[in-house]
Every structure is written in structure tokens, then in C-alpha cells.
Structure 1
Amino acid sequence: MKTAAKALLSRVEFPVLLAGLVVAAGLWGFVELMEVARATTPHAFDAEIMLAFRQAGQPGIPIGPPWMEGAMRDITSLGSTSVLVLITAATIIYLLLIRRPGTALLIFVAVAGGQTLSSLLKLGVDRPRPELVSHLVNETSLSFPSGHAMLSAVTYLTLGSLAARFLHGRTTKIYVLALAVLTTVLVGISRIYLGVHWPSDVLAGWCAGFAWAMLCWLAARVLQRRRVVRDDA
């Protein structure tokens, strides 16, 4: 039994194993957070974290210098639908110009699928926006999971993971992936700072987004092995 397990592990590449663990952890985390979202009253950690971003006793005034609010609005726009569609469209057009239709289709399916999944999850949970603090931007959609957090994870991590396969050198690959993760994290934090999402909404968006992005990355590896998607830049 142990010999068979060792033989199986020897055939599985470490990046693939790590991606599988990310998918499993993301799904588990999302299910746990969904229970928090369906509770009739906000969880204590949701309220405490949201209030930590506001001045004591003044839920309408965010912490930080005056320019911080504007900076957070700029950061949150990196996860908006219009910006992500623009980035995705530009990438797809570039791939078509260099005759990589398979990769272009993969990116389209990854991002469009993530958008569809996010909308379905919002309808399934039906959680309203938080009213604990004032909203610094206008939002009309449902709250759980955070679409900005999820779609920024889907888009930036999908593009980053695919780009890393085309780059040479471990340092360059780590830099690209770290930049994708950092952008995703900043977008999520900005949603809490602006008061339009509970922390559990953002965490759930990250869990679902990371899991979906890693599934797309695994699909890309399979397609590259089968020569459907080319492995060169």
C-alpha cells in the first residue's frame, strides 16, 4: 500500500499537487463561510473587522489620512467588471493576433465562467449589503461572495499563472504570481474599507476565485499536454 502511494506521488508534479490543495482548501473555506453568510445576525469577527476600518465611535468616517479613501476607490476599480473586461479583451485580442486561439479561448472561458459562477453564488446565498457602517461607494448587487474579490482572483491569477508558464527563471515566475496575488488581496481589502462588503464576503470571494483560477490552470496544463494550447510564448 505504501509502495503504491509513493509511486502515485512520484508521478504527480508538485505544482499540480499544490494546485489541487488550493482547490480543495478554497472549496472547504467557501462552504464554511457560506454558513456564516446565512446566519440571521452578523458574525462577531465580521463586525469587529469592519469597525476596525472606521474611527472609534464614528462608523461614517474611515481611518487613515484624507487621501486614503480616494486611493481605496482607485484600488477597488481594479476589480470592477469594466476594468477586468478591458484587461481580458486586450489579452484575448493579443493572443489571437499571435495566433494562439486555444489560449485565448481558455482565458475567455476562465473569466466568463468566473463571472457566471459569481452571479449564481450571489443569487443562491442572497445576502444583503452590510449596514453596520456607511458605504463610501454605491453598490446595488447582493453581498456574498464579493464579486470584486472573486473576479480579481479569477482574472489576475489565471493570467498570472498562464504567463508564469511562458516565462523563464524562477524569480520572474514568482514575481508575476506574487503581483497577481497582491492585486487580488488589495482589491478585497478595499471592499471592506469602503464598507460595501463583510469580511466574510471577501474571504469567500478569494476562496472561490482561487479555486476556480487553479482549476483553469490545471485545465491549461492538460490542454498543453494534448497540444491544444501551445506552451510557447
Structure 2
Amino acid sequence: MEVKQNAQGQSAETDAPPSTTADTIRLPERGFAIDRPKALIAAAMCWAGWAIMVWLVTTGRTLDIDQWVLLSFRTGEDLGLHGSERVLETVRDITALGGVFLRNLFALAAVVALLFLKLRREAVLYALTVASGWVANTGMKLLVGRERPEIVPHLTHAGGESFPSGHSFSAAVVYIGMAIAFAALSRRHSVRYTVIGFAMAVSALVAFSRVLLGVHFPSDVIAGWLGGAGWAFLAAALFYAPAKAAAESETVKKMDPSE
């Protein structure tokens, strides 16, 4: 309510919108809860796709299409990537988002940012998601195992087992898990779906870049991405209660830089 003087010099009250300044804006201390049933449904769909890919790969049903896709992006006698050097540089930049250094750097920055936003529950939940995802990815590689493709020249260094793609799995865990954590800042479903959808698209680009660089079969990256996305959604549901309890502990409160 705003007080103004009228023509006779008398005070009069007029309705006016309250002013909003940076000092009056407050972010939620805890954030809104995720929809765990929906997270479990999304996880089940991803894991079903992952299981199908494992069956297709272990029975040799993907070899022909894997080879065709790899060759379709190459040209010339040396089987170089279609496009200029700038295209190759862009693909390498995208694949770096799923590399050990950048993805862990972004994950650490996200945990710190969540703590500063007073979202301790989401910070703990995200940290558990990323840490357990690394264990899950290692187990998957040991479970299946596969040699890397030698159909086309590798355009970046890659080592270890080929199935599933570690870059694809880890990128999905880190970026989708990050989106799920920060989506707690909004109660609007449209905002949440947009943030998570964008993270899914970015992680899918990282997966696709591994095929363009010739270091993975398409079936490797599809399985890796499905497994990583499935793990991000599953962890968001399963680790919710432990993360909430840990966030309220004195140990985590002492680690909170916002305090």
C-alpha cells in the first residue's frame, strides 16, 4: 500500500504493487521434493532399453548396423570425418564434456553451488548419484566387455573396454543427475521437464560424438546413455531418504559453506 497526497493536500492510500529488490528475494532452504514414482518409471524404461541392447550385442545382432553407421560418417580413402577441421574440433569439444576432468569439475561445482543455495539434501543426493554411478559403470564394463571398433580410424585417444561407453554413461549420470538436483528450485513441472530434457540432450550429444570419433560402436553409446540415464533417475528415487537424513546431520551442516 502506498500513501500519496491528493490535490487538497490530504493523505490518500492507493494500491500499488510491492517493490521487489535483490535484498527481498529468498531461495528455498530445502527445495521442492522430486516425484519419486515418476523417477522410478523413467529409470525402468531406460533399464529395459539397456537390457535389450545387452542382449542384442551379446548375440551379435548389432554388428551390421554398427558397421554401417560408423562408415556413414566417414569419407575418402583415409576414412576421415565428413566436414572441415572445425567440425572435428567441435566434436572433440563435445566429447570432452564426458571426459574425466570436465565432468568431475562440473559435478564438484554443482555440489558446491547446491550447498550455497542451501539445498543440502540435493547436494548429498547428487554426490551419491555420481559416486555410485562410477561403480555401476565399472561393473557394467566387467560384465559384458567388448573390443573397440577398428572399422574406421580413431580420431581421439581411447582405451579400455568398449561396451558400454563410459563417456556416454558418465555424461548421462552427471548432467541428468545435475538437472534433477537443480530442478528442485522450481515447483513448476514445465520448468523441471525443460531443465532435465536439456541435460538429456547434452549427454546424448556427448554419446553421439564417440561414434563420430570412431572409438565406439553405436550400440555401445546407446547402451551407455540408457544405463547412465537410468542410474540418474534410479538414484534420485532410491537415495532420496538417505540424502535427506544425511543433509540434516551435524557433519554435513559443518561442511556447508553457506553457513
Q: Which band: TM-score by shorter chain?
A: 0.7 to 0.9
Q: Secondary structure of 1:144's partner?
A: coil
Percent identity between matched residues is 30
Deviation at 1:158, TM superposition (A): 0.7
Confirm or deny that 1:139 pairs with 2:158: yes
Confirm or deny that 1:151 pairs with 2:173: no
Cα deviation code 1:83-113 (max 9, x no counterpart): 1111111222334455554433222211011
Q: TM-score scaled by structure 2? A: 0.74
Deviates more, 1:106-115 or 1:21-30: 21-30
Confirm or deny that 1:117 pairs with 2:160: no
Distance 1:107 1:191, change over 3 A: same
Could you say what the CA RMSD is over the residues aligned between the two structures, in angstroms?
2.5
Instruction: State how many pairs are aligned.
Output: 215
Would the aligned equivalents of 1:27 and 1:208 in 2 still touch at CA under 8 Å? yes
Would the aligned equivalents of 1:51 and 1:59 in 2 still touch at CA under 8 Å? no
Partner of 1:6: none
Confirm or deny that 1:69 pairs with 2:88: yes
For structure 1, the 5+ residue unaligned runs are 1-13
Partner of 2:105: 86
Would the aligned equivalents of 2:186 and 2:192 in 1 still touch at CA under 8 Å? yes
Confirm or deny that 1:47 pairs with 2:85: no
Partner of 2:228: 209
Partner of 2:57: 37
Partner of 1:9: none
| 2:186 partner amino acid | L
Whichever of the two has the greater Rg, that structure is 2
Confirm or deny that 1:200 pairs with 2:233: no
In the alignment, the residues of structure 2 paired with residue 41 and residue 208 of structure 1 have an alpha-carbon distance, to the nearest angstrom, of 19
Would the aligned equivalents of 2:124 and 2:246 in 1 still touch at CA under 8 Å? no
In the alignment, the residues of structure 1 paired with residue 206 and residue 194 of structure 2 have an alpha-carbon distance, to the nearest angstrom, of 18
Q: Secondary structure of 1:21's partner?
A: helix
In the alignment, the residues of structure 1 paired with residue 145 and residue 245 of structure 2 have an alpha-carbon distance, to the nearest angstrom, of 42
Would the aligned equivalents of 1:38 and 1:127 in 2 still touch at CA under 8 Å? no
Deviation at 1:170, TM superposition (A): 4.2
Q: Secondary structure of 2:234's partner?
A: helix
Q: Which residue, out of 158, 161, 167, partners 2:186?
A: 167
For structure 2, the 5+ residue unaligned runs are 1-33, 249-259
